[in-house]
DNA sequence: AAGTCGGGGAG
DNA sequence: CTCCCAGACTT
């Protein structure tokens, strides 16, 4: 049997039941694909369900404000996906009359939709014969055909895309595409793949040559940068006992764009309380400090793909009002990074 | 072509 | 600890 035939047979027996699986609505497929970019099904599924419940149609999503979208996205990471999701929803409503474009080429014009996602939507929703190439497909093809070209090299990207197109089943593209990805996720997994009872065990090059654990080949990752974050949490209590603090929105480039955080004093090296006492005015210039408390003695190391954030939180009590103060009970309404959300949860204002 | 962008779970 | 996840975008 052909490669694609075995994939299809395997898929029909082993496919998981997923919330978006039985749908061909472009909105649902698109939403699921954006959420699942670089994200495991288990992590993304609850977000998908909340998005569908909150925004049942692309029109609802387009009419939301970015703040709502980011809040719902909070904790998923890669927040440009959420901003692009919102922008693309507006494009569908404003430029396409609320109806998703129905071709690979047209789908590519949507923000946040690249080669993989356009292939996935066009094939799953419209049966357009476009081969998907995601992390699963790279792994399955590299192993089965014994290819050691690095999957993240320019040559590898081109090679695997053309190979995927060569071996796909254009007449059953909807199930074939989902099948090869499902196969990679369940059977041909990155570690400890289930080669013992695999439908390809008699023809898999990697298995026959003992190269399963060496494929696919990937160029080395970039190194990590260390940064030192000091979050200053101003707290003012008025005569009625109401507490106020402050959040700033991150702007410009870099991590956590458009998310909110406490006033941040970043430094070249770790700071101590004496440094904070002097330098807090760099980010809270008008604040009259009464008392500064060290929240965590040992820095919390928040790890991102390219950065390690050595973070300390400093509580700054004041007896006067300050600029942009917000009631502490409102802070949960703002979209914040997990690092900040964890602090808020633990601190209990 | 290389860098950037999150967070979490598996091993 | 390392690796990688239904990748896209910028420089």
Pairwise CA distance, residues A33 & A325, whole Å: 38
**Whole-angstrom Cα distance, residue A313 to residue A264?**
9
Residue A41 beta carbon within 7 A of nucleic strand C = yes
A21 touches strand C (CB under 7 A): yes
* pLDDT of amino acid A315: 97
If residue A126 lies in a helix (H) or strand (E), which one and from where to where? helix A115-126
Active site residues of A: 33
CA dihedral (A312, A315, A321, A327) positive or negative: positive
Query: pLDDT of A181-237, one tens digit each?
Result: 999 999 999 999 999 999 999 999 999 999 999 999 999 877 899 999 999 999 999
Q: What's the CA gap between A190 and A323, in Å, rounded?
A: 51
Q: What is the CATH number of domain A225-347?
A: 3.90.79.10
Q: Indicate the SS3 state at residue A188.
A: coil
Longest Cα–Cα distance of chain A, Å, equals 79
Give the pLDDT confidence score for residue A91 in this predicted structure. 98
> Which residues, at least 6 apart from A279, have a Cβ–Cβ distance to it below 8 Å?
A265, A267, A271
Q: What is the DSSP letter of A270?
A: -
Beta bridge partners of A315: A233, A293
Of the pLDDT bands very low, low, confident and very high (cuts 50, 70, 90), residue A290 is confident
Whether nucleic acid strand C comes within 7 Å of the CB of A192, the answer is: no
Residue A167's nearest CA partner among A347, A6, A329, A42 is A6
CA A95 to CA A201: how far, in whole Å? 49
How many angstroms is C1' of C1 away from CA of A217? 21
Nearest nucleotide to A119 by CA–C1' distance? C6
- Using a pLDDT cut of 90, give the percent of chain A over it: 96
CA distance A42 to A49: 12
Dist. CA A47–CA A31, nearest whole Å:
10
> What is the structure's pLDDT at A221?
73
Q: How far is the CA of A242 from the C1' of C3 (A)?
A: 47
Strands (E) in chain A, as ranges, are 225-237, 243-245, 248-249, 260-261, 264-267, 291-294, 300-303, 307-318, 326-327
Measured distance CA(A7)–CA(A240) in Å, rounded: 67
| Residues paired with residue A291 on neighbouring β-strands, in sequence order | A317
Domain ranges of chain A: 3-214, 225-347
Q: CA-to-C1' distance for A39 and B10, Å?
A: 14
Q: In degrees rounded to 5, what are phi and psi of residue A211?
A: -110, 10
pLDDT higher than 80, residue A260: yes
SS3 (DSSP) at A132: coil
pLDDT band at A287 (very low <50, low <70, confident <90, very high): confident
Instruction: Give the pLDDT of residue A95.
Output: 97
Query: Is there a contact between A245 and A235 (Cβ–Cβ < 8 Å)?
Result: yes
What do you get for the CA distance between the two ends of chain A, in Å? Answer: 64
Q: Nearest-CA residue to the C1' of B6?
A: A77
User: For position A222, what pLDDT does the model report?
Assistant: 74
CB A100 within 8 Å of CB A27: yes
Residue nearest to nucleotide C7 (CA to C1'): A37
Protein-nucleic contacts, chain A 104-133 to strand C, CB < 7 Å:
111-118, 120
Q: State how far the Cα of A36 lies from the Cα of A43, in Å rounded to an integer.
A: 9
Give the CA-to-C1' distance from A334 to C8 in angstroms: 26
A1-52: pLDDT as tens digits: 999 999 999 999 999 999 999 999 999 999 999 999 999 999 999 999 999 9
What's the full length of chain A, in residues? 349
Calculate mean pLDDT across residues A296-319: 96
CA distance A61 to A94: 12
Q: Does domain A3-214 have CATH number 1.10.340.30?
A: yes
Residue A4 CA: distances (Å) to CA of A7, A161, A173, A189: 5, 15, 10, 18
Provide the CA A291 to C1' B5 distance, Å, integer.
37
* Closest residue to C6 (CA, C1′): A36
Say if CB A132 and CB A185 are below 8 A apart.
no
pLDDT of residue A250: 97
**Residue A305 CB closer than 7 angstroms to strand B?**
yes
């Amino acid at each position: 049997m052909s490669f694609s035939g075995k994939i299809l047979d395997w898929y029909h027996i082993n496919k998981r039941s997923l919330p978006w699986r039985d749908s061909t609505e472009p909105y649902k497929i698109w939403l699921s694909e954006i959420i699942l970019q670089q994200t495991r099904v288990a992590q993304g599924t609850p977000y998908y369900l909340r998005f569908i419940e909150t925004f049942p149609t692309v029109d609802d999503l387009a009419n939301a404000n970015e703040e709502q979208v980011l809040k719902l996205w909070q904790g998923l990471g890669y927040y440009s996906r959420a901003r692009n999701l919102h922008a693309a929803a507006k494009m569908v409503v404003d430029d396409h009359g609320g109806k998703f474009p129905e071709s690979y080429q047209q789908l590519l014009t949507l923000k946040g939709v690249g080669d993989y996602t356009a292939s996935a939507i066009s094939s799953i929703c419209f049966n357009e014969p476009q081969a998907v190439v995601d992390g699963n497909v790279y792994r399955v093809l590299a192993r089965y055909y014994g290819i050691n070209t690095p999957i993240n090299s320019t040559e590898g990207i081109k090679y695997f895309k053309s190979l995927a197109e060569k071996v796909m089943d254009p007449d059953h593209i909807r199930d074939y595409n989902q099948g090869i990805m499902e196969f990679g996720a369940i059977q041909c997994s990155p570690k400890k793949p289930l080669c013992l009872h695999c439908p390809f065990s008699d023809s898999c090059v990697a298995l026959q040559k003992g190269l399963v654990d060496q494929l696919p080949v990937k160029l080395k990752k970039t190194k990590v940068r260390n940064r030192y974050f000091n979050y200053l949490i101003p707290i003012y209590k008025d005569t009625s006992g109401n507490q106020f603090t402050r959040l700033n929105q991150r702007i410009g480039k870099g991590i956590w764009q458009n998310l909110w955080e406490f006033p941040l004093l970043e430094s070249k090296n770790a700071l101590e309380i004496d440094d904070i006492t002097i330098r807090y005015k760099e980010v809270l210039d008008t604040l009259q400090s009464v008392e500064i408390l060290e929240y965590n003695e040992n820095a919390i190391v928040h790890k991102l793909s390219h950065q390690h954030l050595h973070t300390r939180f400093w509580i700054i009590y004041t007896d006067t009002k300050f600029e942009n103060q917000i009631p502490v009970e409102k802070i949960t309404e703002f979209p914040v990074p997990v690092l900040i959300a964890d602090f808020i949860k633990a601190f209990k204002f």
